[in-house]
Amino acid sequence: MRRLSNHIGTTVFASIGVALLVLIGLDAVGEIIDQSGRLGRNYHFSDALIYVGTLLPSRLYEFMPFGCLIGCLIGLGILQGNSEVVVMRAAGVSPLQVVGFVLKPVLVFIVLAMAIGEYFSPYLDQLAEGRREYLLKGETAQDSTSGFWNREGNEFMHFNAVFPGGVLYGVTRYRFTDDKTIEEASFSSRATYNAVEGYWTEENVSITRFYGDRTEVDKKITRHWDSELTPNVLTVNILPADALPIASLSGYIEFLRQQNANTADYEVAFWRKVLQPLIIIGLVLVGISFVFGPLRESTMGFRVFVGVVTGVTFRIVQDLLGPLSIVFGFPPFLAVITPVVFCAALGVYLLRRSG
């Protein structure tokens, strides 16, 4: 039985790996084509390749459920095509035992996905975006069409590029009085965060102060900047909710609750992250049940097509239920868990019928 388990596990593991390579490869080609429209004097084709390559871990995390679904359909389809499944069934191996054999390699990919989503993709996503924006705009004056805006009291700030660890490029700050009159505007080419002392240091600062009918311009090599803004706060505000790690999502949800702000978007992202293993297992159960049931005699191409359609349908339902939970006020947890329960129930039902 151990040899059989290893054989099925190896086949499924290799099939999932190939499926993920194809999915990520197609996505990378599309992203490179999209980035080619941004090429310019400082942003070259090699920079676009680096940008796409830096985003690969997050793409791997995003495509993991679909890759596991399609990989299981391909792997079990290969065994079915070689009549190995028929021999296994004749030898008394039940579909539930096959499910156990298949889930072993799937668990490896689940652990890999969780590690990437928590420890690698948030940092690399911010690094990729920061590097691209730096090359496109760098330390030049403010480009209000992109970058990141932030408000702190009577001060509005804009950053051309934000790197992880507390490095900003192209920092523009506008300070207003209580009656909404501009008091000071400044621009610095770069600002770095001192984590020990808890303040920012601006470099190459140009300051314009407004005094009624006159202005005063001042320049400084460096300037001390006290602010409640920290690299962690920047990460939460810059990255989309589904790109944040679970710990950051949990902390930010608690912060929004204390401010009586809407937390629905971040709760949906939080539960998607937490329930990612169940999402993958639910889709895998559907894939296994298809091979033992409706797709038993189908061709490999048709199995892949069904897997793609199933994965896309699952994602559409997820994307619809998330906003619906915000509109109608039902718990975001239900919006995430409902399609997972449906997939698992459908898979178990089809497996029982085939057994």
Q: Where are the domains of the chain?
A: 2-135+260-354, 148-234
Contacting residues for 93 by C-beta, under 8 A, at least 6 apart: 4
At residue 239, does pLDDT exceed 70?
Answer: yes
At residue 355, does pLDDT exceed 70?
Answer: no
* Contacts of range 25-33, beta carbons closer than 8 Å, 24 or more positions apart: 27/59, 27/63, 28/52, 28/53, 28/56, 28/59, 31/55
Q: Sorting pLDDT into bands at 50, 70 and 90, what band is 287?
A: confident
Mean of the per-residue pLDDT values of the chain: 87
Instruction: For residues 108-121, give the mean pLDDT.
Output: 94
Q: Sorting pLDDT into bands at 50, 70 and 90, what band is 351?
A: confident
Q: What's the one-letter identity of residue 166? A: G
pLDDT above 70 covers a percentage of the chain that reads 95
Instruction: For residues 2-10, give the mean pLDDT.
Output: 86
State residue 201's pLDDT score.
96
The three-state secondary structure class of 136 is helix
Q: Sorting pLDDT into bands at 50, 70 and 90, what band is 77?
A: confident
Structure confidence by residue, pLDDT tens digits, 301-339: 777 777 788 888 888 888 888 888 877 878 889 989 999
Residue 150: in which H helix or E strand, if any? strand 148-152
Give burial (CB, 10 Å; 0-12/13-18/19+) of 213.
Answer: exposed
CB 7 within 8 A of CB 93: no
Cα 27 versus chain centre, distance: 14
Q: How far apart are CA 44 and CA 42, in angstroms?
A: 6
At residue 237, does pLDDT exceed 70?
Answer: yes
State residue 278's pLDDT score.
92
State residue 228's pLDDT score.
86
- Does residue 351 or residue 124 have the better pLDDT? 124
Structure confidence by residue, pLDDT tens digits, 199-216: 999 999 999 999 878 899
State residue 59's pLDDT score.
95
State residue 86's pLDDT score.
74
Rg value, the chain, Cα: 26
Q: Sorting pLDDT into bands at 50, 70 and 90, what band is 183?
A: very high
Q: How far apart are CA 294 and CA 313, in angstroms?
A: 18
Q: Sorting pLDDT into bands at 50, 70 and 90, what band is 171?
A: very high
For 244-275, letters b (16+ CB in 10 Å) and e give bbbebbbebbeebeeeeeebbbbbbbbbbbeb
Q: What is the pTM of this model?
A: 0.86
Instruction: For residues 240-247, give the mean pLDDT.
Output: 90
At residue 80, does pLDDT exceed 70?
Answer: yes
Instruction: For residues 259-267, give the mean pLDDT.
Output: 84
Contacting residues for 86 by C-beta, under 8 A, at least 6 apart: 80
